[in-house]
Amino acid sequence: MKHKSSSYTEELKRLSALRNLDKIRTGVNSLYYRVVKTHTDRDGLGNFPVNGQSFRINKEYLLSEFSQIQEAHSIERAKYYIKRLIKSLNEIRLGKLNDINLNRWKEYNDIVTDSLWEIDKRDRSGTHTAGYWGNFVPQIPNQLLRRYTKKNDWVLDAFLGSGTTLIECKKLGRNGIGVELQPSIARKAQQAIDKENSEIPMRCPVIVGDSKQLNLSQEIKKYGTSSVQFVLLHPPYWDIIKFSNNDSDLSNSKTINDFLSDFGKVVDNCSKILDQGRYLAVVIGDKYSDGNWIPLGFYTMQEVLNRNYSLKSIIVKNFKQTKAKRGQERLWRYRALVGGFYVFKHEYIFLFKKIVPINSLSSKLQK
């Protein structure tokens, strides 16, 4: 590699000592074209030594930083941008709960921070398959894991289904535990997870069991951890899809109150092993019954809020055709016009943070 970060840094330092804005611009311009012509390094610029590690830098990011310096209207502003760039090239400032380098936050264009998620195509890379009725798109766990976990953290998915979350864990270098009630589905999920490649060996076991009752502390100890750092819950949307004939299956709950009470039991069970200050996400949609909209999303949100959690975000995600409704769009449009309702086109991702119980806070204060 011809141009290492040290040479960029040294040149930037030299430029920031100049007293003439035009000279700074000319110097930055030559750095700009040096980067543009780095053809040998297609993914970005390599071998930047930071904190004793070597890491890559995104070419577009570097070019946009150079442009900003060139467009600065005053010498003070140009020097401020140079100083900031030197810092971002030489220091890593990781997020508290993730591995996002905040000094280079502009590089993370693919991390969504808006509350409206429009995902038009399912990620079909690796061992993901779209075959399991009721699965979610891999982009959901992918986004959440990158925001709320670090490499080597432990993730729990208590309604694993086809294993989407654990496949993403493996790809992203996170450990994961999945719980699935149906043995045959759990087996298939484990096979898909095992086949997925990962840069470093990750532990991603699938446990067959009822997430309301399973002794999770005992289970996760077998894999060498005593807690998890993120919980992802994608429960049945009550009885919209009947997943099995098992009475413990949440899709077989007899009434909405039974469904919510069972869902609450799963939250309680998972909370026992989730670290304080860490996040829990619920992915769920609403349903219609006898012509009435049943807001399952907000009901389940309230179940979580009845416990020791604070609400951090409500994300609305677009909802593409399901297998059930494929080819029936015109019929649903007609039904909507006749019945005076709207056709579901969205579902929710609720994000919660586990907080210290108020009782234990006040007892600590009294001591």
Ligand X SMILES: C[S@@+](CC[C@H](N)C(=O)[O-])C[C@H]1O[C@@H](n2cnc3c(N)ncnc32)[C@H](O)[C@@H]1O
Residues in contact with ligand X by CB under 6 A are 132, 134-136, 159, 161-162, 164, 179-182, 185, 210-212, 234-236, 243-244, 248-250
Strands 274-284 and 346-354: antiparallel
Axis-axis angle for helices 256-271, 296-305 (nearest 10): 40
Report the nearest approach of ligand X to the CB of residue 116 (Å).
21
CB 86 within 8 A of CB 9: yes
Sign of the CA dihedral running 300, 137, 225, 191: positive
Phi, psi of 12 (to 5 degrees): -65, -40
Identify which of residues 243 and 352 has a Cβ nearer to ligand X in the complex: 243
- Distance, in Å, from the CA atom of 304 to the CA atom of 275, rounded to the nearest integer, reads 16
Report the nearest approach of ligand X to the CB of residue 176 (Å).
12
Beta bridge partners of 309: 354
Identify which of residues 78 and 137 has a Cβ nearer to ligand X in the complex: 137
Report the nearest approach of ligand X to the CB of residue 325 (Å).
16
Report the nearest approach of ligand X to the CB of residue 199 (Å).
23
Beta bridge partners of 156: 177, 231
Identify which of residues 57 and 181 has a Cβ nearer to ligand X in the complex: 181
Identify which of residues 70 and 269 has a Cβ nearer to ligand X in the complex: 269
Q: Which residue is nearest to ligand X (CB)?
A: 161
Q: How many alpha carbons fall within 13 Å on the CB side of residue 326? A: 4
Neighbours of 359 (CB within 10 A): 9
CA 244 distance to own-chain centroid: 28
Identify which of residues 8 and 243 has a Cβ nearer to ligand X in the complex: 243
- Distance, in Å, from the CA atom of 367 to the CA atom of 363, rounded to the nearest integer, reads 6
Identify which of residues 27 and 134 has a Cβ nearer to ligand X in the complex: 134
Report the nearest approach of ligand X to the CB of residue 197 (Å).
19
Report the nearest approach of ligand X to the CB of residue 229 (Å).
19
